[in-house]
């Protein structure tokens, strides 16, 4: 395998091109690794297969029994990353902490309403309900100008 690095000041962002005689398993693995390194992708496992998910697809992230799950319209995917690691990766990308165990995609919120004890009930795209704890509700209200 040949590896080259070329600098081009005319480019606005990094570009990676894989040239190969055929797209064999080695080329596919290399492509998967590069996509996983891309800051806009998250990896999740479902049914023994690993999927690359666009951040925009993720509605919210939840931790249950020390396992972390990514919820999308297509299903639920387990990720090996911890919630705090995901929170660090998602800073400035439209996600916010909703409780000690939940991170929400702000752009996937369909509606919200007050709930008991100062919490907020969010209805996500697809109709699923997610709760924002009282501790984090103030920050969301401020962000919304409420």
Instruction: Locate the domains of the chain by residue range.
Output: 25-144
Q: Is 21 helix (H, G, I), strand (E, B) or coil?
A: coil
Angle subtended at Cα 36 by Cα 45 and Cα 5, rounded to the nearest 5 degrees: 160
Has this prediction a pTM greater than 0.85?
A: no
CATH of domain 25-144: 2.40.50.1020
Interval 83-117: pLDDT, tens: 988 888 887 888 999 999 999 999 999 999 989 88
- Strand order from edge to edge, sheet including 129-132: 109-114, 120-124, 129-132
| 49-54 and 95-99 strand pairing | unpaired
* Rounded average pLDDT over 22-27: 78
Interval 47-88: pLDDT, tens: 988 888 988 999 999 999 999 999 999 999 998 888 988 888
Give the confidence band of 32 by pLDDT, cuts at 50, 70, 90: low
Alpha carbon distance 133, 103 (integer Å) = 11
Alpha carbon distance 72, 70 (integer Å) = 7
């Amino acid at each position: 395998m040949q590896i080259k690095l070329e600098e081009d000041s005319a480019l606005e962002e990094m570009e990676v091109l894989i040239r190969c005689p055929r797209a064999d398993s080695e080329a596919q693995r290399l492509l998967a690794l590069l996509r996983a390194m891309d800051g806009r992708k998250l990896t999740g496992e479902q049914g023994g297969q690993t999927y690359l998910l666009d951040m925009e697809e993720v509605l919210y992230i939840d931790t249950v029994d020390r396992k972390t799950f990514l919820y999308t319209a297509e299903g639920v995917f387990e990720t090996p990353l911890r919630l705090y690691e995901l929170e660090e990766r998602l800073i400035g990308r439209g996600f916010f902490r909703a409780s000690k165990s939940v991170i929400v995609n702000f752009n996937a919120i369909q509606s919200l309403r007050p709930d008991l004890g100062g919490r907020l009930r969010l209805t996500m795209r697809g109709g699923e309900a997610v709760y924002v704890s009282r501790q984090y509700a103030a920050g969301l209200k401020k962000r919304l100008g409420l």
